[in-house]
């Protein structure tokens, strides 16, 4: 089961750019705090990172968040981005499994793992309705952000090539 820092390390560049662009536009204080934190870790002044062209800055941020030291920062950013920018994806996934959720696609407690066939059936339409790269990141994050995860989801993540993260 990949951890949040491993998700960032393997995340496609286009998906990482979506994530950082969302944070920059909708969660500006969080984006700035993340830049400050990552720059200080590397003993850089934040302005040095801010002056990089946006694609270069986002690639730098993705690479920095792909390090184990940034595990908790990466987990937080994934949660904020997925709930803030992709609530429809979260809701579609949970609806497909018949799991009650709020309007943002969040749940109180993770229910027991569904059968592998039911899980595959719920995931299939996500790839046609949503960006496949975002779906793959979401499924890995869903698995990683819970202590236990679902064994059936772990199997599907390992078997289905569409669910692979490829930087």
Same domain for 81 and 11, yes or no, is yes
The residue-averaged pLDDT of 24-46 equals: 96
Do 64 and 38 form a contact (C-beta atoms < 8 A)?
Answer: yes
73, 115: one domain: no
Average pLDDT on 69-88 reads 97
SS (H, E, C) 17-82: HHHHHHHHHHCHHHHHHHHHHHHHHCCCCHHHHHCCCHHHHHHHHHHHHCCHHHHHHHHHHHHHHH
Query: pLDDT band at 146, cuts 50/70/90?
Result: confident
Whether residues 40 and 96 share a domain: the answer is no
Q: How far apart are CA 141 and CA 150, in angstroms?
A: 12
* Sign, CA torsion 82/84/85/87: positive
In percent, how much of the chain has pLDDT > 90?
92
Asked whether residue 45 falls in the same domain as residue 95, the answer is: no
Q: Which helix (H) or strand (E) holds 138?
A: helix 132-144
Q: Please check whether residues 95 and 77 belong to one and the same domain.
A: no
Mean pLDDT of 83-109: 95
Number of compact structural domains in the chain: 2
Last residue of a domain, one of 29, 57, 85: 85
Question: Do 96 and 23 sit in the same domain of this protein?
Answer: no
Q: How far apart are CA 26 and CA 112, in angstroms?
A: 34
Residues 45, 64, single domain; the answer is yes
Is pLDDT of 142 > 90? Answer: yes
Confidence band (pLDDT; 50, 70, 90) for 160?
very high
pTM score of the predicted model: 0.94
Which of residues 29, 64, 85 is at a domain's end?
Answer: 85
DSSP 115: P
> What phi-psi label fits residue 149: left (phi over 0), alpha (psi between -120 and 50 degrees) or beta?
left
Contact 123, 87 (CB under 8 A): no
Residue 167 has what pLDDT?
A: 56
- Specify the range with the lowest mean pLDDT, choosing from 55-69, 83-97, 118-132, 133-147: 133-147
The pLDDT mean for the chain works out to 95
More confident residue, 163 or 147: 163
> How deeply is 63 buried, as exposed, middle or buried, from its count of CB atoms within 10 A (0-12, 13-18, 19+)?
middle
Q: Is the pLDDT of residue 73 over 70?
A: yes
43 and 111 both lie in a single domain? no
Residue 132 lies in domain: 87-163
Minimal CA–CA distance to 78: which of 156, 143, 150?
143
Domain shared by 80 and 118, yes or no:
no
Instruction: Check whether residue 30 and residue 94 sit in a common domain.
Output: no
Cβ count near 129 (within 10 Å): 11
Average pLDDT, integer, range 32-60: 96
Answer yes or no: is pLDDT of 61 > 60.
Answer: yes
């Amino acid at each position: 089961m990949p951890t949040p820092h491993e998700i960032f390390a393997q995340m496609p560049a286009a998906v990482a750019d979506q994530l950082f662009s969302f944070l920059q536009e909708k969660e500006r204080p969080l984006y700035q705090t993340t830049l400050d934190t990552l720059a200080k870790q590397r003993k850089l002044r934040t302005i040095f990172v801010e002056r990089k062209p946006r694609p270069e800055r986002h690639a730098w941020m993705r690479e920095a968040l792909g390090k184990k030291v940034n595990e908790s920062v990466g987990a937080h950013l994934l949660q904020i981005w997925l709930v803030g920018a992709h609530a429809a994806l979260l809701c579609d996934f949970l609806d497909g499994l018949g799991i009650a959720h709020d309007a943002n696609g969040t749940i109180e407690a993770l229910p027991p793992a569904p059968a592998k066939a039911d899980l595959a059936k719920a995931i299939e339409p996500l790839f046609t309705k949503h960006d496949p790269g975002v779906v793959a990141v979401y499924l890995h994050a869903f698995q990683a952000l819970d202590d236990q995860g679902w064994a059936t989801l772990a199997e599907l993540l390992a078997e289905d090539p569409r669910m692979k993260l490829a930087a």
